[in-house]
Amino acid sequence: MNVTLKESSLEKFFNPSSVVIIGASNAPFNLGATICKCLKEYISYRGTVYAINRAGEAVCGCDGFTSVHDLTEPVELAVIITPARVVPQFVRDCGAKGIQHIVIESSGFSEQGDEGKRLQSEIDEAARQYGMRILGPNCLGVLDIQSRFCCFYGAYPEIVEVFDKPGGVSYIIQSGGVGVLLLESLMTDVQGPHKMVSIGNKSDVDEADLIEYFNRDGTQVIAIYLEHVGNGEKLMSMARRVSKPILVFKSGRTAEGTAAALSHTAGMASNDAVFESACRQAGIIRLRSVGELHSMPKMLTEMPLLRGNRIAVFTNSGAFGSISADLMVEAGLALPRLGAASRELLAKIGGVFNINNPVDIGPAPPQTYLDIFEILLSDKEIDGLLLMSSIWREFIIDVMKELVEMCKRYDKPAAIYTPNSVARILSVRKEFGLPLFDTAEEAVRALAVSHEQFRYHRKKENPYARNHQESA
């Protein structure tokens, strides 16, 4: 039952000094060529890129060879993007050549019937024989902002934009389509990604290995899109050891329990219910939509954690005050009555319609906003803030910038939603780097996520130790 990890580091998948793209050619619509083009032309990867194709021709300025054996310089990473049937032979060639890290982007393996399964086991066999690490098959590859490396096939020139905005969130995705959605969405967000890796059929490297890897690099938040869990115990034990936030959106919620089970328990134990429980036990935050993979991390990278559930709402619209009150209760957050001291201070400021929670103001100058932030954040009975003020004057942007700084000082978070059009929110968020949420629901959810992460911090412990001791 013990989880053993291979010693080999995953670093070379993200930061190789040289890479060979097996299957890159000058044929029309060749996918391997898009990788060469991205590395050479879009992102100016600093290492050497080689192409392997039948003609041995150069592709997008990358030297071409007919076989891996013909490479004259050592290569750290191989990316294979050829028809599935020839992949096992290329993997063996790489092994013989001493290439230890292979990304297999080709599809047609365990996801496609018995022949595919057989091909995948041939790859596993070769990997074992040569001690190689395999990413994939059936994956999109790897993206690393810092090392300026990306082997996603089909990358388009706009991808350069994410490289200009490095961030702290590393993504583990099982499907390439989700990766594209995330990258595009992050272009209008506070931060771009730190790294992104697609795991596909995960014949070797899986989500647990990558959680461990991201725990040691500059990643601040680990966000995962998962279709199925390979080894649940390994995932849980790894997640328990990691204090960085781990966010997971998993599809397949509707799968039912084993119909053939003898006991009623087994009949009721759906895989989804078990996954949900595993997340709570191991300190994994379970997300509710694909969208939360890019909307939630900024609450964790830009703001301190929410240490309690008592929230003060501050709005310039009575409507949003009551909308947020409903959302807050649903999210398990409290909207306490403010203490006498805070109410007294608020009463002294002109233009406050409601000195209770939610605090509601009319048209007011910037200093009023700052004074109210100060009163609410310094209140010992308040753990965090929900700001819902529309950007009705440009100075709102300045007071929001100041709020971000004040939150750091008081070690309390604020979730910010400006009741403006989504287009306006996105443009302000992008231009000024403010952690704005698209909707009131998202902002309230972000507070709940932040508090969940805070509680996980306290409970990470390892129950396996107890059992191993007893049985020893």
Partner 1 sequence: MQEIIKKALERGQRALSEYDSKKVIESVGIPVTREKLACSGDEAVVLAEEIGYPVAMKGCSDKAAHKTEMGLVKLKLTTADEVRKAYDEIVGKGVELDGVLVQEMVKGDREFVIGLSRDPQFGPCVMFGIGGIFTEVIKDVSFRVAPLTELDAEEMIDEIRMKKLLGEFRGSPAVDRKQLVKALVGIGDIGYKHNEIAEIDINPLIIAGSSPVVVDALVVLNNPN
Q: How far is the CB of 254 from partner 1 (least distance, A)?
A: 15
Alpha helices in 153-270 (DSSP H): 160-163, 176-186, 207-216, 232-241, 264-268
Residues binding partner 1 (CB under 8 A): 228-233, 236, 257-258, 261-269, 271, 273-278, 280-281, 459, 461, 463-464, 466-467, 471
The helix/strand/coil state of 138 is coil
Q: How far is the CB of 272 from partner 1 (least distance, A)?
A: 10
How many residues does this entry show for the chain?
Answer: 472
Residue type, 174: Q
Whole-number Å distance between alpha carbons of 453 and 247:
9
Query: Which CB, 77 or 226, lies closer to partner 1?
Result: 226
Q: How far is the CB of 333 from partner 1 (least distance, A)?
A: 18
Q: In sequence order, what are the beta bridge partners of 286?
A: 248
Query: Which CB, 22 or 282, lies closer to partner 1?
Result: 282
Whole-number Å distance between alpha carbons of 4 and 181:
34
Query: Which CB, 216 or 468, lies closer to partner 1?
Result: 468
Query: Which CB, 231 or 378, lies closer to partner 1?
Result: 231
Q: Is the dihedral of CA 179, 181, 183, 189 positive or negative?
A: negative
**For residue 405, what is the enclosing H or E element?**
helix 395-410
Query: Which CB, 272 or 402, lies closer to partner 1?
Result: 272
Query: Which CB, 76 or 207, lies closer to partner 1?
Result: 207
The helix/strand/coil state of 448 is helix
Query: Which CB, 31 or 278, lies closer to partner 1?
Result: 278
Secondary structure of 145-185 in the HEC alphabet?
CCCCEECCCCCCHHHHHHHCCCCCEEEEECCHHHHHHHHHH
Q: How far is the CB of 118 from partner 1 (least distance, A)?
A: 22
Q: Is the dihedral of CA 225, 229, 235, 236 positive or negative?
A: positive
Q: How far is the CB of 233 from partner 1 (least distance, A)?
A: 6
Q: How far is the CB of 270 from partner 1 (least distance, A)?
A: 9
What is the rounded end-to-end Cα distance, in angstroms, of the chain?
Answer: 14
